[in-house]
């Protein structure tokens, strides 16, 4: 059936039901946001022009951008000491830009290696300058994030970079690491999954496509003093301070991705804010962890208990063949995206803010049934 033969969008949506999408990102978005976007694609703010078609310098997008920043500040309780701005190139580009902007020649930056993404950040950092791997998680197969005692900071580091939530391995930092250096966090996979602990940080960044919206935009929040401390001349599009000073419009920004992120901020606020998100996320994750605790002869949880992620749960059954059967059986029951990252195998359930509790209940029930029939 083609969409043209349908009398309305509602009819189309009724006939094309959605499944539980456990994808690590791009990931499930709030239904309210998708429905609002459907209208705003046609015409936003009564302008007769859709959001995709508005100039990035026109009044309609001025409003989208202003509201997006204001709502982001409201969600994160962000003071004016911090700049909030939107950049391109995904989180991965920030792996290069951060040392380019803030690692001067002759200084060292500390990095904790807690998974594939931090490993990539380290590799890209080394292209720019001197990097000290202050914690090497590869030696324990990234099964935990380090305590402060396990982090070997260098003297007078330019900054310490860490990742709050390791999307692939399903580990999280219970608290930010302690350091006297400016602290920079990759929060791509857990931003706004609970209250934002911004104060210890000089800068945080997050690719949008997990908890904030579609891919194509990265949220950056940086202390204004730190922003000013760029250590070398760079082409303008690579300078955080210049992007921030031009309100994220040094060039044409990803207007639709910013619009969507703004809608997600509004949704978080309508739902009651980050405290409510935290409560829901803890309950959702508990449904899944509890089954595995109970059936611990069958399921193996990768993360050590003290640092388990509420966003990404990486687990295995006793064999790779059973993992395949698990994934195929789940797909037959309307659960998609459960295959683990290609580096780890096994399964991964990504259950970000917008992922419904009913999907976690369905997975927990399926896990029980699968262990009974295959254990
Ligand atoms: N950091 C983390 C924690 C991630 O999970 C990812 C992507 N999954 C990245 C960085 C890379 O993001 P991008 O694809 O936007 O470059």
pLDDT digits 0-9 by tens, 24-83: 999 999 999 999 999 999 999 999 999 999 999 999 999 999 999 999 999 999 999 999
Atom of ligand 1 nearest to the CA of 25: 8
Q: How many CA atoms lie within 13 A of 270 on its CB side?
A: 10
Separation of 168 CA from ligand 1 center, angstroms? 10
> Nearest CA to 113 among 148, 139, 149?
139
Give me the sign of the Cα torsion angle 44, 89, 177, 224.
Answer: negative
Distance of CA 86 to the CA centre of its chain: 14
Separation of 91 CA from ligand 1 center, angstroms? 5
CB–CB of 110/160 below 8 Å?
yes
Active site residues: 117, 186, 210
Counting every residue written for the chain, the total comes to 375
Reading the block at residue 177, the tokens are 């690491």
Q: How far is CA 67 from CA 84, 237, 270, 277, 296, in A?
A: 12, 24, 14, 21, 47
pLDDT band at 1 (very low <50, low <70, confident <90, very high): very low
Average pLDDT, the chain: 96
pLDDT band at 6 (very low <50, low <70, confident <90, very high): low
Q: What is the pTM of this model?
A: 0.97
Residue nearest to atom 9 of ligand 1 (CA): 91
Q: What is the DSSP string of 117-143?
A: HHHHHHHHHHHHSEEEEEEEGGGGTT-
Atom of ligand 1 nearest to the CA of 90: 15
Question: Rg of the Cα trace of the chain?
Answer: 21
Backbone angles phi, psi at 216, to 5 degrees: 110, -5
Separation of 315 CA from ligand 1 center, angstroms? 20
Contact residues of ligand 1, CB 6 A cut-off: 25, 90-92, 117, 163, 167, 186, 188-189, 207
Interatomic CA distance for residues 153 and 346, integer angstroms: 33
Backbone angles phi, psi at 308, to 5 degrees: -75, 135
pLDDT value of residue 338: 98
Which residues have CB under 8 Å from 83's CB, separation 6+? Answer: 220, 221, 222, 223, 224, 227, 244
Atom of ligand 1 nearest to the CA of 209: 15
Residue range 181-201: average pLDDT? 98
Separation of 162 CA from ligand 1 center, angstroms? 13
Residue nearest to atom 15 of ligand 1 (CA): 90
Per-residue pLDDT for 153 more than 70? yes
Residue range 275-301: average pLDDT? 98
Locate tokens 């999408």: which residue? 21
pLDDT digits 0-9 by tens, 92-122: 999 999 999 999 999 999 999 999 999 999 9
């Amino acid at each position: 059936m083609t969409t043209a033969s349908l009398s309305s969008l509602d009819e189309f949506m009724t006939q094309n039901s959605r499944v539980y999408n456990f994808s690590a990102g791009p990931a499930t978005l709030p239904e309210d946001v998708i429905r609002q976007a459907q209208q705003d694609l046609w015409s936003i703010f009564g302008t007769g022009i859709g959001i995709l078609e508005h100039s990035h310098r026109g009044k309609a997008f001025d409003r989208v951008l202003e509201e997006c920043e204001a709502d982001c500040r409201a969600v994160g309780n962000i003071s004016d000491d911090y700049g909030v701005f939107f950049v391109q190139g995904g989180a991965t580009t920030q792996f290069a830009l951060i040392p380019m902007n803030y690692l001067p020649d002759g200084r060292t930056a500390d990095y904790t290696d807690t998974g594939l993404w931090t490993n990539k950040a380290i590799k890209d950092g080394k292209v720019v300058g001197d990097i000290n791997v202050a914690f090497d998680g590869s030696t324990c197969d990234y099964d935990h994030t380090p305590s402060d005692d396990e982090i070997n900071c260098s003297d007078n580091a330019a900054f310490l970079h860490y990742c709050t939530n390791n999307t692939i391995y399903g580990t999280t930092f219970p608290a930010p690491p302690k350091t006297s250096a400016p602290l920079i966090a990759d929060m791509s996979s857990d931003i706004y999954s609970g209250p934002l602990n911004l104060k210890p940080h000089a800068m945080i960044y997050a690719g949008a496509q997990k908890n904030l919206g579609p891919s194509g935009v990265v949220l950056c929040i940086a202390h204004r003093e730190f922003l000013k401390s760029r250590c070398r001349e760079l082409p303008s599009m690579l300078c955080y301070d210049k992007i921030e000073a031009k309100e994220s419009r040094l060039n044409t920004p990803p207007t639709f991705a910013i619009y969507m992120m703004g809608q997600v901020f509004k949704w978080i606020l309508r739902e009651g804010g980050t405290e409510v998100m935290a409560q829901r996320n803890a309950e959702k994750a508990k449904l899944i962890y509890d089954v595995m605790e109970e059936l611990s002869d069958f399921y193996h949880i990768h993360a050590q208990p003290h640092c388990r992620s509420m966003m990404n749960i990486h687990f295995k059954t006793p064999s790779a063949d059973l993992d395949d059967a698990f994934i195929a059986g789940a797909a037959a029951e309307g659960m998609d995206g459960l295959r683990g990252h290609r580096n780890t195998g096994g399964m991964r359930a990504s259950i970000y803010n917008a992922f419904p509790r009913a999907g976690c209940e369905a997975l927990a029930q399926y896990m029980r049934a699968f262990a009974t029939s295959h254990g």
